[in-house]
Amino acid sequence: ATPTALLVGTGRGAQLGILIRGPEVLEASRGIDTVVLDKTGTVTTGAMKLAAMHSARGWSLRNAAGDDDGGDDVELLRLAGALESASEHPIARAVTNAARETLGSVAGKLPAVSDFSNHQGYGVSGIVSGHTVMVGRRDLLRQQGIEVPDDLAGLLAQAESQGSTPVLVAVDGGLAGVLIVSDAVKETSAEAIARLGAMGLSTVLLTGDNSGAAHRVAAEVGIEEVIAEALPKDKVAAIRALQQQGRTVAMVGDGVNDAAALAQADLGIAMGTGTDVAINAAGITVMRGDLRAVADSLALSRRTLRVIR
Contact footprint for ligand ADP (CB under 6 A): 38-40, 84, 87, 89, 91-92, 121-124, 135-137, 165, 167, 207-209, 255, 257
Name the residue whose CB lies closest to ligand ADP. Answer: 208
- Closest approach, Cβ 41 to Mg ion, in A, equals 4
Nearest to 175 by CA among 156, 155, 137, 149: 149
**Distance from C-alpha of 113 to C-alpha of 125, rounded to nearest angstrom:** 9
Residue 230 CB, nearest approach to ligand ADP (Å): 7
Of Mg ion, ligand ADP, none, which one does residue 121 interact with (CB within 5 to 8 Å by kind)?
Answer: ligand ADP
Query: Which amino acid is it at 254?
Result: D
269 touches which of Mg ion, ligand ADP, none (CB within 5 to 8 A by kind)? none
Nearer Cβ to ligand ADP, position 4 or 117? Answer: 117
| CB contact burial 261-270 (16+ within 10 A = b; e otherwise) | bbbbbbbbbb
Nearer to ligand ADP by C-beta: 178 or 305? 178
| Residue 103, contacted partner among ligand ADP, Mg ion, none, CB below 5-8 A by kind | none
Helices (H) and strands (E) in the chain, counts: 12, 13
Between the alpha carbon of residue 89 and those of residues 86, 158, 257, 274, 277, the distances in Å are 9, 23, 10, 11, 13
Residue 122 binding target from ligand ADP, Mg ion, none, CB below 5 to 8 Å by type: ligand ADP
d(CA 186, CA 182): 13
CA angle (67, 71, 76) in 5-degree steps: 125
Which CB, 84 or 266, lies closer to ligand ADP?
84
Q: Does 38 qualify as catalytic in the annotation?
A: yes
Task: Pick the closest to residue 178 from 209, 134, 217 (CA basis).
Answer: 134
Catalytic member of 38, 183, 254, 266: 38
Calculate the CA dihedral of residues 269, 270, 271, 272 and round it to 10 degrees. Answer: -120
Pick the closer one to ligand ADP by CB: 209 or 266.
Answer: 209
CB 28 to ligand ADP: min, Å: 24
Binding partner of 254, given Mg ion, ligand ADP, none, CB within 5-8 angstroms per partner class: Mg ion
Collapsed DSSP state (helix, strand, coil) of residue 262? helix
- Residue 255 binds Mg ion (CB under 5 A): yes
Q: Which is nearer to ligand ADP, 6 or 56 (CB)?
A: 56
**Host H or E run for residue 48:** none
Cα 103 to Cα 135: distance, rounded to the nearest angstrom = 19
Distance CA 9, CA 13 (A): 6
Closest approach, Cβ 255 to Mg ion, in A, equals 4
- Confirm if 209 and 229 have CB atoms less than 8 A apart: yes
Nearer to Mg ion (CB atom), residue 40 or residue 164: 40
Least separation in angstroms between CB 82 and ligand ADP: 13
| Coil, strand or helix at 46 | coil
Residue 70: which of ligand ADP, Mg ion, none does it interact with, CB under 5 to 8 A by kind? none
Taking the C-alpha atoms of residue 227 and residue 189, their distance in angstroms, rounded to an integer, is 18
Q: For Mg ion, what does the binding mask look like between residues 8 and 47, x meaning CB under 5 A?
A: ------------------------------x-xx------
DSSP 258: G
- Cβ of residue 133: shortest distance to ligand ADP, in angstroms? 11
Does position 275 interact with Mg ion (CB under 5 A)? The reply is no
- Catalytic (active-site) positions: 38
Interacting residues toward Mg ion by CB under 5 A: 38, 40-41, 254-255
